[in-house]
Amino acid sequence: MKPISETDISRWDSGTGEFRSVTASEQLADVASFELDVSVPQTVRVHFETAKNLYAYAWFVYRFYPVAEQQALTSLEFALRERLGAELAQSSREGARRSRGLKNLLEEARKRQLISNERFSWTRERALQRARQRAEFQQIEEMQRLELTTVEIDYSNVEPLPEDFDQDWIGTFIATLPRIRNAYAHGSGILHNSVLHTFEIVSELINQIFAPAR
């Protein structure tokens, strides 16, 4: 059975050197990899599982991709409200401005140190990518200086520097995720299937929010 879609769902096959259609089982496996920790409340887990099921079913109905992304972002907002609800209610009673909406909830979670850039699982890998890119540029400059035509780059001793970790992921997500969610909430013609990164971000943030205190 082939997916019913406006656009063919395909990916690069390094073995054949060609693009090929994605199978239903691959579609399911892609999104199934984003798991919430056991520390996350069941209500939030069910909410996020709904988003994952929408993504899986988008193999049949292409227009479910934006619906799945919207549900994933709504799961994040729901998780934030569940985690911060009592604390925000207390702040409100004490006269503080009550945070509303995804952006303010993310800012509040950051303020309370429930989320941080250092705790993302991809932090070291992204820093290592930066270090490797720097090593490549340095080798190219050395090759040009010595007037060489080829150079072999050894990545075995490449280690990230402190500045390689200097990436404000949280700030980027605060600026972008609420805009995407609001676009969907107010009606949008957005139609694309590149939403797995959103699932990665949302699952990482939710897991951080409910992580046991250290």
In the block, residue with structure tokens 């069941």: 42
Helix (H, G, I), strand (E, B) or coil at 12: strand
- Confirm whether 143 is domain-assigned: no
What pLDDT does residue 36 have? 97
Q: For the packed helices 196-209 and 169-185, what is the interaxial angle rounded to 10 degrees?
A: 120
pLDDT tens for each residue of the chain, 214 residues long: 555 444 556 666 666 766 778 888 988 999 999 999 999 999 999 999 999 999 999 999 999 999 999 999 999 999 999 999 866 665 655 545 555 789 999 999 999 999 999 888 887 877 777 778 887 777 777 777 777 777 777 777 888 777 777 788 999 999 999 999 999 988 877 777 789 999 999 999 999 999 987 6
For residue 56, being part of any structural domain is answered with yes
Q: What are phi and psi of 4, to 5 degrees?
A: -90, 110
Dist. CA 176–CA 185, nearest whole Å: 14
How many domains, the chain? 1
Q: Is residue 146 part of a domain?
A: no
Domain membership of residue 82 (yes or no) is yes
Does a structural domain hold residue 16? yes
Taking the CA atoms of 6, 11, 13 and 17 in sequence, report the sign of the dihedral they define. positive
* Beta-strand pair 10-13/18-21: antiparallel
Six token digits for residue 10: 């395909």
Q: Does residue 174 fall inside a structural domain?
A: yes
**For residue 11, what is the enclosing H or E element?**
strand 10-13
For residue 3, is it within any domain?
A: no
With beta carbons less than 8 A apart as the criterion, state whether 114 and 205 touch: no
Domain containing 27 equals 10-120+170-209
How crowded is residue 73: how many other Cβ atoms within 10 Å of its Cβ? 24
Contact 65, 193 (CB under 8 A): yes
- On whether residue 64 sits in a domain, the answer given is yes
- Give pTM, 2 decimals: 0.78
Predicted local confidence at residue 92, as pLDDT:
53
